[in-house]
Amino acid sequence: MKQADSVIAILGIGTAVPDYRLDQADTSQRLAQALSEIPDTARWVKRIFKQCGVETRYTCEPNLLESAEDCRYFSQWSNRVIPSTAERMETYKRESVPLGLSAARKALIDGEVEASDITHLITVSCTGQFLPGLDAVLIQQLGLAVTVNRIPLNFLGCAAGLKAVCLSRQIVSSNPSAKVLIVCVELCTLHIQPSSQREDLFGASFFGDGSSACIVGLTESNHRGIFQLGNEHSILLPDSAEEMVWEVGNYGFDLYLSTNIPKLIGRMIPEQIEHLITGCQKPELWAIHPGGKGIIDTLEEMYELTQEQTQPSRSVLRNYGNMSSATILFVLNEMRQKLINRDSGPANGIALAFGPGLTCEMIQIAYLPSVITQEQLTNEFHV
């Protein structure tokens, strides 16, 4: 096939979640019970858990489903010993591997790509580390070539999944024979803090565990229902370094999220989006990383998006919570299934995610029900 008939695209997507399901109402009730000695905080917990847009999420830690007095993560008043960071990292090492393998295998099958064809492996996580790392284990258990170029993206936060997609596009652009496997694994619930501080409880209200994977490479005419990748844009927003902080503590990783983040995004991001889509029509598809309900609300109002346009992001937030770097591929997979189910034609769009810094990663996408010519793609992005 001629190069002009091929496009750089996400060829396949796979997702996986742990076995244990957290019901938001039940979790809120048990956490409020753990905080019963602080009535105002207990009431606030119930309110924020109800309003954050999450109904269910998943965890690798069955202890988080136990009663308040038996849950080691909920409060300093628990009857059990609080897990140390070292213990949480042991759990991460044990639980991250099967999740990553499951998502990767699904992506390979979905993309009709053989493990032996993978030339680059990008592993992404900010919720745990061990060496030899996830990349080494995946090579062994997936049967990848031992010469695969390994690129770990560690401790970059929620935007790292989309950063990996953008990096993969650059790799394939300079090496058309490359096939890049991205595997994101995040076990966010391992870092629930034994604290009554509201900033800790806010983070505990909507983060969940999950893994996602995708294959990026040149596609041929036999692929259907894919996202072509266009221009990307990365920005470190000024004067916002303290708005989202993720540090290693004695009892897991300590997260601080400012309530100002949606307002900052609303003020600073439009200029960056315009920089990316200059000369193009307004995106029809919006794959927004659901870093919180407020972020989706802000972008929906600012760009006058319909409920249908934000549905993939809201659905993922509602059913899985924020799974940090893994989340954006859940959103793209949800969006793709909807487009396939309604037999949609080609549509242009944008994917964007936010992380500590504040960092914003964004990339043009185009849904292709089937591969079309380069001339048609150029028209699709630049009409």
Question: Which domains can be identified in the chain, with CATH numbers?
Answer: 224-370 (3.40.47.10)
Residue 48 pLDDT grade (very low, low, confident, very high; cuts 50, 70, 90): confident
Beta bridge partners of 164: none
Closest CA to 332 of 147, 39, 23, 107: 107
Task: Detail the DSSP E strand segments found in the chain.
Answer: 8-16, 20-23, 56-59, 120-125, 149-154, 179-187, 209-218, 224-236, 244-249, 252-257, 285-288, 347-355, 359-370
Closest CA to 115 of 87, 99, 139, 81: 139
Place of tokens 């601080």: 256
Which of 70-84, 168-182, 253-267 comes out lowest in average pLDDT? Answer: 70-84
pLDDT digits (tens, 9 = 90+) for 321-352: 999 999 999 999 999 999 999 999 999 999 99
pLDDT digits (tens, 9 = 90+) for 191-216: 998 777 777 788 788 899 999 999 99
CA distances from 208 to 28, 89, 298, 316 (A): 14, 16, 22, 11
Residue 255 pLDDT grade (very low, low, confident, very high; cuts 50, 70, 90): confident
**Amino acid letter at 266?**
G
Q: Counting runs of H as helices and runs of E as strands, what totals does the chain give?
A: 11, 13
Residues contacting residue 365 through CB under 8 Å, at least 6 positions apart: 227, 228, 229, 230, 285, 287, 332, 348, 349, 350, 351
Residue 76 pLDDT grade (very low, low, confident, very high; cuts 50, 70, 90): low
Range with the largest mean pLDDT of 219-223, 239-243, 290-294, 360-364:
360-364
pLDDT digits (tens, 9 = 90+) for 56-72: 999 999 999 998 888 88
Angle formed by the axes of helices 160-174 and 327-341, to 10°? 70
**Paired tokens of 18:** 């742990």
On the question of a cis peptide bond just before residue 229, with omega within 30 degrees of 0, the verdict is no
**What is residue 355's three-state secondary structure?**
strand
Place of tokens 């008939």: 5
Q: Supply the pTM of this predicted model.
A: 0.93
pLDDT digits (tens, 9 = 90+) for 128-179: 999 999 999 999 999 999 999 999 999 999 999 999 999 999 999 999 999 9
Q: Using CA atoms, how far apart are residues 17 and 57, in angstroms rounded to an integer?
A: 9
Angle formed by the axes of helices 293-302 and 261-277, to 10°? 50
Angle formed by the axes of helices 134-142 and 85-110, to 10°? 40
* Residues known to be catalytic: 158
* Residue 373: predicted pLDDT: 45
What is Dmax (Cα atoms) for the chain? 69
CA distances from 150 to 11, 67, 133 (A): 20, 42, 10
Residue 19 pLDDT grade (very low, low, confident, very high; cuts 50, 70, 90): very high
* Residue 69: predicted pLDDT: 82
* Residue 3: predicted pLDDT: 38
